[in-house]
A and B are shown apart, each in its own frame.
Chain A
Amino acid sequence: MSRSLRPLVATAVIFAIAYALAVMQFPSMFSTRVLGNFLTDNAFLGITAVGMTFVIISGGIDLSVGAVIGFTGVLVAVLIAWAGWHPLAAFALALAVAASFGAGMGLAVHYLQVPAFIVTLAGMFLARGGASVITQDSVPVNHEFYDWISDLIIRLPGGGRLSFIGLLMVAVFIIGALVAHRTRFGSYVYALGGNPVSASLMGVPVARTTVGVYMVSSTLAALAGIVFSLYTSAGYPLAAVGVELDAISAVVIGGTLLTGGYGFVLGTFIGVMLLGLVQTYIIFDGSLSSWWTKIVIGALLFLFIVLQRLIFAASTQGEKAS
């Protein structure tokens, strides 16, 4: 088995075991209802994590996604509730704004040679600050379009409900996986994460790919912001604080190497589901503080980082002669 597959398999096995244990304790967790809610409740995180997967595979990081979600939520809410725009028009504008925002960050990362950590940290403050300038308060959205979307539901046997936003997340994962593994852009992203110098000598358009990666991440974060706005029917400038870290955790738990070059979009899906499982378990248990979620996620993250180290250290080829 290829060594890059091993972390993915490990994640899948751990998810299966964890889910089995949870079902043994709470048999009602094995139902279409819980599974449907898994998708709906984690839709915005999942969509964000797809973009984050691209960024991390390319060897970068994007700390601005949580703030972009918050900014998009506020922008959309204000355009609909105050300016009277149709939601679709508001969505289109929000996506365009986010895309150019991501392009700006990508340009800075490539041309100014500033570490992505710093550039996107600045982007995070910009977006969060921008959202707070528009409004300090939560802006509720009441629009028939929102009601229509939330009524778009596929009912499953057993009382489960597949919501529009849950399915949207699944679609984003499928498209993301196709782009990552089956297009030239996807192979350029992996090339960049493997070795940027080799990549440019092999003819990879490094500038275009870097900008593209951050555009994808910001645009998907904005899409997540729209989903979040549909999910909560409101826009709040302090929404989704810290989601960037959840997304990074999901990506790493999903078997993507934090230093870039290796990873799978599908792995991120399992990572998101694993995080969702931990949360659902704690809700089912009822007696545990929700902070246990963070502790479990922390332990999982640590486990996976150690695991990846071991796998990659064990299979490193003999060093080259100098």
Chain B
Amino acid sequence: MPDEQYALEARGIVKIFGNHVALDAVDFGLRAGEVHALLGENGAGKSTLIKILTGAYQPDGGQVLADGQPVHMDNPQQAQTLGIGTVYQEVNLLPNRSVAENLFLGHQPTRFGLVDRRKMERESRDILKRYGLEIDPTSELGAYSVAVQQIVAIARAVELSGKVLILDEPTASLDRYEVERLFEIIRDLKARGLAVVFITHFLDQVFAVADRVTILRNGKLIETRALDAMSRTDVVRLMLGKDVAFSGATGVEDARPMGDILLDFSQYGRKRSVHPFNLTIHKGEVIGVAGLLGSGRTEMARIMFGADAADEGEVAIAGVRTTIARPTDAIRHGFGFCPEDRKAEGIFGELSVRENIIIALQGKLGWFSALNRDEQMEIAGRFGESMDIRAASLDMPIKLLSGGNQQKVILSRWLATDPAFLILDEPTRGIDVGAHAEIVRTINRLRDEGMALVVISSELDEVVAYSTRIVVMRDREMVAELNGENINPGVIVQAIANHHDEELA
């Protein structure tokens, strides 16, 4: 046991969901007056650990200690009384109420049983001043930017708890200037002796503000170390668990003839989402998109498909300038998009496999040329066979299928529209090995048939296997375009971690 006193400590935490071990004997120690970054890819166990530290979950093993004393927390309110405050990525305040009420809700000063508004507003003004906010506490919170709301949320958490502050991706929707302002506040809180846990996907921010880092992977503690002894490459390598950085280039690369130019995005971007990027996509090409979670990969895909409209730059399709402001525009031009969050954005759970397959085609045809049942069965049957969809019947609800088969159905949905350009966001996440191979095979086949694809994946080996070109995203910016022998995991890790002081090989 370390002789130093931790403000908040987790010892040997185990958390099991069903038969999945979300956290496996994880230790985590937080000192007063430090900013401690918690890193890990999706599913690494970060949010589970946070929920245990804030009382939202109870551990199945191990214990949580506050100031060296074992504590048991049943709910977030109890954590609050122990001095642990949390601010989430999405500001969890009330935009319909005044700033003062958001700071004090549940703890309003009262006089004769009634809320003492004047006192509440006076104290709010004092608090806001400490955070450098010159805003009227009686005004509605919703009138302010996300950054200001974020600061109000931090102020509330600190005022109510005042010992430990947990920031769960607080910068995800802030711009650079706002992030800098937030960091000033974090440094100030650190100087006041607070212990701050900082969760983010942005490595630059970790190095800018954190003192120590804890890295989790697959529910296991990988490393807790002081940051000044680590380089970006070390951190990325520990997060991805790949000891590949110096494996060297693969060397062999066939000179695949480039097809005609299909799409040309120039200075294409969207404020607060993705910095303008340039990308030319040829027919018969697979462009792999690599980057850590939150690096802007999904945002880029959504802009390409018109799910979020771009607000700068232009796009040309086969040399002709067009606008893609809505998914229907994109579909008309022969685009398809398999989103990352299959359950929420991909499948229609209650509808049958058949209906899920034909729905995009029907959408493209319009209201007045309905596909009859026989046509639907024919189309669904054709894809069911060619994609090897394992379903007892094409009329069973898709939600009963495994993740891999659901993914094949969504892929079929777009293939049925005979697309020229397909965007796949994490097509192989959470699916079994067989389906995985089937999808990779399909990607290769489509490329050879002359389709253009953009494939986003965290699996570096996989991206390397099918991509003809790889673009790397970092901090919502396209930072590198790799081709030829640079397509190997080592170079990609370098590009993801790269910073001006570590030149790309």
Give the interface of A toward B (CB within 8 A).
Answer: 2-4, 178, 182-184, 187-188, 190-191, 193-195, 197-199, 201-204, 261-262, 315, 317, 320-322
Of the listed residues A183, A191, A204, the one surrounded by the most CB atoms of chain B closer than 10 A to its CB is A191
Establish whether residues A201 and B173, one from each chain, have CB atoms under 8 Å apart when the complex forms.
Answer: no
Q: Which residue of B lies closest to A184 (CB)?
A: B108
Is the contact region of chain B dominated by helix, strand, or loop, or is it mixed? loop
Give the interface of B toward A (CB within 8 A).
Answer: 76-77, 80, 88, 92-97, 101, 105-106, 108, 110, 113-115, 117, 139-140, 142-146, 156, 173, 270-273, 299, 302, 308
B472 to chain A, nearest CB (A): 21
- Beyond A178-B114, A190-B94, 14 additional contacts (C-beta under 8 Å) are A4-B96, A187-B97, A191-B105, A195-B92, A198-B92, A199-B94, A201-B76, A202-B92, A202-B105, A204-B106, A262-B96, A317-B145, A321-B173, A322-B273
Residues of A within 8 A of B271 (CB): 321
A220 to chain B, nearest CB (A): 20
- Bound-state CA distance A140–B314 (Å) is 78
Establish whether residues B92 and A197, one from each chain, have CB atoms under 8 Å apart when the complex forms.
Answer: yes
- Shortest beta-carbon contacts, A-B, top 6: A321-B272, A194-B96, A261-B96, A194-B94, A198-B92, A182-B114
Establish whether residues B97 and A3, one from each chain, have CB atoms under 8 Å apart when the complex forms.
Answer: no
Residues of B within 8 A of A195 (CB): 92, 94-96
Residues of A within 8 A of B76 (CB): 201, 203
17 contacts between A and B (CB under 8 A): A4-B96, A178-B114, A183-B115, A184-B106, A187-B97, A187-B101, A188-B105, A195-B96, A199-B94, A201-B88, A202-B93, A261-B94, A315-B143, A320-B146, A320-B173, A321-B173, A321-B299
Q: Which residue of A lies closest to B142 (CB)?
A: A317
Establish whether residues A182 and B115, one from each chain, have CB atoms under 8 Å apart when the complex forms.
Answer: yes
Q: Which residue of A lies closest to B141 (CB)?
A: A194
A177 to chain B, nearest CB (A): 11
Establish whether residues A182 and B106, one from each chain, have CB atoms under 8 Å apart when the complex forms.
Answer: no
Residues of B within 8 A of A320 (CB): 146, 173, 272
Establish whether residues A183 and B94, one from each chain, have CB atoms under 8 Å apart when the complex forms.
Answer: no
Residues of A within 8 A of B273 (CB): 321-322
Establish whether residues B108 and A187, one from each chain, have CB atoms under 8 Å apart when the complex forms.
Answer: yes
Q: Which residue of A lies closest to B101 (CB)?
A: A187
Name the contact of B114 in the complex, choosing from A183, A191, A202, A203 (C-beta under 8 A). A183
- Bound-state CA distance A269–B156 (Å) is 35
A187-B105 CB under 8 A given contacts A195-B94, A202-B92, A320-B173: yes
Establish whether residues A193 and B114, one from each chain, have CB atoms under 8 Å apart when the complex forms.
Answer: no
Residues of A within 8 A of B139 (CB): 2
Residues of A within 8 A of B92 (CB): 195, 197-198, 201-202
